[in-house]
Amino acid sequence: FQITAKAAVIFVTLQYNVTIPATEEQSAETISLYYYGIKDLATIFFYMLVAIIIHAIIQEYVLDKINRKMHFSKTKHSKFNESGQLSAFYLFSCVWGTSILVSENYISDPTSLWRDYPHTLIPFQMKFFYILQLAYWFHAFPELYFQKTKKEDIFRQIVYIGLYLFHIAGAYLLNLTHLGLVLLVLHYFVEFLFHISRLFYFSDEKYQKGFSLWAVLFVLGRLLTLILSVLTFGFGLARAEDQQLNFSTGNFNILAVRYS
């Protein structure tokens, strides 16, 4: 079983660990940090399977029971399932992401979004967060089949999922994990409010105040996203000394990347 155990470790645990020795100036304890590599694909695949299982559990033991009680039409049934699954995921991601932001002091110190770039070494929680994000959105592809998505909706859903994967993978691979985490938490919070409002609306169409609040926060969220992006790319990274593409050091701070 030693051979299979070694193979299983690649799928279950995070790879590419680096131990930083303790120093008097920084920390009294050794710190374990992580970087990314090709083996992350195996870990993402494993947690994609976990996401499929959790998706099925939520569907069968929560959403299907509510659907049977509410007697939704086919259209509402599909939208209710979508909002139920996404609201649970967005809430989980928001809480977890916010805890990382607080523990790493990204909120109290906005300059950490671009300071010391490239952020090639990240803490365990940060890497695990990104791995699970990628796993979740990859799991959404087979769910199109499992949920019997209508043919006319498949292309829209593929584009929707693809955009999430593009931006999350981009932040992960370009070592922009700090900024990516902040923007994800901000975006997920707004999306959570939309889907939870839609769930209340399906239960009783009188509940429409949530959509009004969502509309306001949607605009504010996009405005804050724009401000943070401009500060990071147009101010912080644009003034960095090293602005040359370097794959060995993970530096992608070039004009084409900043404005793409």
Over its length of 260 residues, how does the chain's per-residue pLDDT go in tens digits?
A: 566 777 788 898 999 999 887 665 555 578 899 999 999 999 999 999 999 999 999 999 999 999 888 888 777 888 899 999 999 999 999 999 999 999 988 888 889 999 999 999 999 999 999 999 999 999 999 999 998 888 888 999 999 999 999 999 999 999 999 999 999 999 999 999 999 999 999 887 778 888 999 999 999 999 999 999 999 999 999 988 888 899 999 999 998 888 87
Structure tokens at 89: 């995921």
Q: What phi, psi does 114 have (nearest 5°)?
A: -125, -15
Indicate whether 9 belongs to any domain: no
Largest Cα–Cα distance of the chain, in whole Å?
64
pLDDT of residue 28: 59
Indicate whether 249 belongs to any domain: yes
How many structural domains are present in the chain?
A: 1
CB atoms near residue 207 (< 10 Å): 14
Residues 166-223: tens digit of each pLDDT: 999 999 999 999 999 999 999 999 999 999 999 999 887 778 888 999 999 999 999 9
Report the C-alpha dihedral over residues 179, 143, 86, 11, rounded to 10 degrees. -50
The C-alpha atoms of residue 6 and residue 14 are separated, in whole angstroms, by 13
pLDDT of residue 77: 85
Residues 67-82: tens digit of each pLDDT: 888 888 777 888 899 9
End-to-end CA distance of the chain: 48
Identity of the residue numbered 215: A
Full-model pTM: 0.93
pLDDT of residue 142: 95
Indicate whether 21 belongs to any domain: no
Structure tokens at 187: 């975006």
Indicate whether 180 belongs to any domain: yes
pLDDT of residue 126: 96
Tokens 């292309």 belong to 155
Sign of torsion over alpha carbons 36, 41, 45, 46: negative
> In 3-state terms, what secondary structure has residue 40?
helix
Sequence-ordered list of residues with C-beta below 8 angstroms from that of 107, at least 6 positions apart, any chain = 101
- What's the domain range around 242? 36-258
Name which of 110, 100, 70 is nearest 236 in CA terms: 110
pLDDT of residue 27: 54
Residue 110: in which H helix or E strand, if any?
A: none
Indicate whether 45 belongs to any domain: yes
Indicate whether 88 belongs to any domain: yes
Name which of 162, 166, 169 is nearest 140 in CA terms: 162
Indicate whether 19 belongs to any domain: no
Sequence-ordered list of residues with C-beta below 8 angstroms from that of 184, at least 6 positions apart, any chain = 93, 97, 133, 168, 171
The C-alpha atoms of residue 137 and residue 163 are separated, in whole angstroms, by 10
pLDDT of residue 24: 54
